[in-house]
Chains A and B, each alone.
Chain A
Amino acid sequence: TQLLEQSPQFLSIQEGENLTVYCNSSSVFSSLQWYRQEPGEGPVLLVTVVTGGEVKKLKRLTFQFGDARKDSSLHITAAQPGDTGLYLCAGVAQGSNYQLIWGAGTKLIIKP
């Protein structure tokens, strides 16, 4: 079974702190995506990474795809209350036909 494990499941920190969330698997992925979901809304795509070792930045968010394409991380610098939400990773396993595999998510709360 191909799984994407996200950690931590829950994180509550103060505004201004830095944090990293992780998305890990024993399988190789041809691409991996990160989404943010706010309460009562659908997930919104933040970024897609496709190359091992790739780093992408979106303002204060830095996404990295592992060299072996089995894991990814999301680092937030100087977190703000607007970063609060559920962060989901999802990937296309190498050699699979079409289905996205989803992590269970990291619920992030940034306290003012």
Chain B
Amino acid sequence: DVKVTQSSRYLVKRTGEKVFLECVQDMDHENMFWYRQDPGLGLRLIYFSYDVKMKEKGDIPEGYSVSREKKERFSLILESASTNQTSMYLCASSENLDRVEGYTFGSGTRLTVV
């Protein structure tokens, strides 16, 4: 069964900490995405990558960076965590750029910044 695995289900971090969220997919997909999900706001795209070492800003990249050194791994970095970054973070991957076949999501990381 194809999988997107996020390294942590729950994280609690302090304000100002540097936070790393890891995501690995085993489907040899070209495209990987990081979203955050907040009640009433739906899914908002933070960053995505369509190839190794390539990245593109999404709708809300401020306060975040990403790294894709290998095809299967896409990391989201919170440079200096703030309380307004408390959220559910979802990683996804897809094979085709036109998205017709849909995304495969990980189970999410619920991050709390205190």
Residues of chain A at the chain B interface (Cβ within 8 Å): 30-31, 33, 35, 40-45, 48, 50, 88, 90, 92, 98-100, 102-105
Contacts and interface: CB of A to CB of B under 8 A. Distances in A.
Given A42-B105, A43-B103, 18 more contacts: A30-B98, A31-B98, A31-B99, A31-B100, A43-B43, A45-B103, A48-B102, A50-B100, A98-B98, A98-B99, A99-B45, A99-B58, A100-B99, A102-B43, A102-B44, A104-B41, A104-B42, A105-B42
Contacts of A50: 100
B99 A88 contact: no
Contacts of B42: 88, 102-105
Interface residues of B, number: 25
Contacts of B110: 40
